[in-house]
Amino acid sequence: MQPFPAGRAGAVLLVLAAAGSTQFGAAVAALLFPRVGPLGVVTLRLALSAAILLVLFRPRLSGRSAADWRLVAAFGLALGGMNTAFYAAIDRIPLGAAVTLELLGPLALSVVAARRWTSLVWAGLALTGVVLLGGGDVRGLDPLGVLFALVAAALWAAYIVLSSRVGRRFARADGLALAMAVAAALSLPFGLAHAGGALLAPGTLAAGATVAVLSSALPYSLEMAALRRLPAATFAVMMSLAPAIAALAGFLVLDQALGPVQLAAIALVALASAGAVRAAGPRGADAAPP
pLDDT at 290: 34
pLDDT of residue 283: 43
Q: What's this model's pTM, rounded to 2 decimal places?
A: 0.77
Residue 197 lies in domain: 7-286
pLDDT digits (tens, 9 = 90+) for 110-136: 777 666 677 677 777 777 777 776 665
Q: What is the per-residue pLDDT across 150-193, written as a single tens digit (0 to 9) for each?
A: 899 899 989 988 988 998 888 878 899 999 999 999 888 888 88
Neighbours of 274 (CB within 10 A): 14
Within a domain: 212: yes
Q: Given this model, what pLDDT does residue 215 score?
A: 84
Nearest to 97 by CA among 107, 106, 108, 86: 86
pLDDT the model gives residue 289: 35
Report how far apart, in Å, the C-alpha atoms of 54 and of each of 89, 175, 185, 226 are. Answer: 29, 10, 14, 21
The residue ranges of the chain whose pLDDT is under 70 are 1-8, 95-96, 113-116, 119, 133-140, 233, 243, 245-258, 262, 273-274, 276-290
2 assigned to some structural domain: no
pLDDT of residue 254: 52
39 Cα distance to chain centroid: 17
128 domain-assigned: yes
User: Are 284 and 230 contacting, i.e. CB atoms less than 8 angstroms apart?
Assistant: yes
In a domain, 1, yes or no: no
Q: What is the pLDDT of residue 47?
A: 93
Residue 209 lies in a domain: yes
In Å, what is the CA distance from 267 to each residue of 55, 132, 234, 259? 40, 11, 17, 12
- Which pLDDT belongs to residue 282? 45
Q: What is the distance between the alpha carbons of residues 103 and 85, in angstroms, rounded to a whole number?
A: 13
Scanning the chain, the segments in alpha helix (DSSP H) are 7-57, 66-90, 95-102, 104-114, 117-134, 143-169, 174-195, 202-212, 218-227, 232-238, 241-253, 260-279
**Is 115 domain-assigned?**
yes
Q: How many domains does the chain have?
A: 1
The DSSP symbol for 103 reads: T
Q: Does residue 47 form part of some domain?
A: yes
Q: What confidence score (pLDDT) does residue 15 get? A: 83
